[in-house]
Amino acid sequence: MSEKRPNFIVDAMLGNLAKKLRILGYDSKYFSSIEDDKLIAIAKNEKRIILTKDEQLTKISEKQSVVSVLIRGNDELEQIAQINAKIKLDQFVMDTNNSRCIVCNGILQSIEKYRIIGKVPEGILEREEKFWMCDSCKKIYWEGTHFAKLQEFVNKLNNRLQ
């Protein structure tokens, strides 16, 4: 992975894309409702790339020298391929140590199992060994059964982008 990965700000219509990018380790701010001028201001101030389905927003942002990617369609593999076509992204790796919180975009920190007793279901504690906690909202994560589906998604993504 390169040292400087792009940071994104994701328009309201692309919440699922924001989650996927966070899982893949990309800093991706997302607001379910935000005015275009505020979104552009954040992108400009924080050097973020705007991801949107709003053609008008891409035109306005480009006039203000803010990079944006116009996203078409609802398929997440295709959406990430569209981003990659404009901004070359790294090879994707499913690495929970680089993932971000899907709820708030916070950074996940590894946490010892004994520290989360009583905070996750007993069966999870028995089955899982590794846990992460968001440094912002304190949500707890573990790899679980969905991890295999995410790995499959990453493999499809890498195959598509080769």
Residue 149 in this model has a pLDDT that exceeds 60: yes
Q: Locate CATH 3.40.50 in the chain.
A: 8-86
Would you state the pLDDT for residue 96?
A: 73
Give the model confidence (pLDDT) of 90-100 as tens digits. 777 777 778 89
DSSP state of 12: G
Which residue, 161, 4, 3, is CA-closest to 83?
A: 161
- pLDDT attached to residue 158: 81
Assigned CATH topology for domain 8-86: Rossmann fold (3.40.50)
CB proximity list for 5: less than 8 A, separation 6 or greater: 25, 26, 27, 89, 90
In tens, the pLDDT along 3-55 reads 578 999 999 999 999 999 999 999 999 998 899 999 999 999 999 999 999 99
Q: Pinpoint the alpha helices (H) of the chain.
A: 15-23, 36-45, 55-63, 76-86, 122-127, 146-161
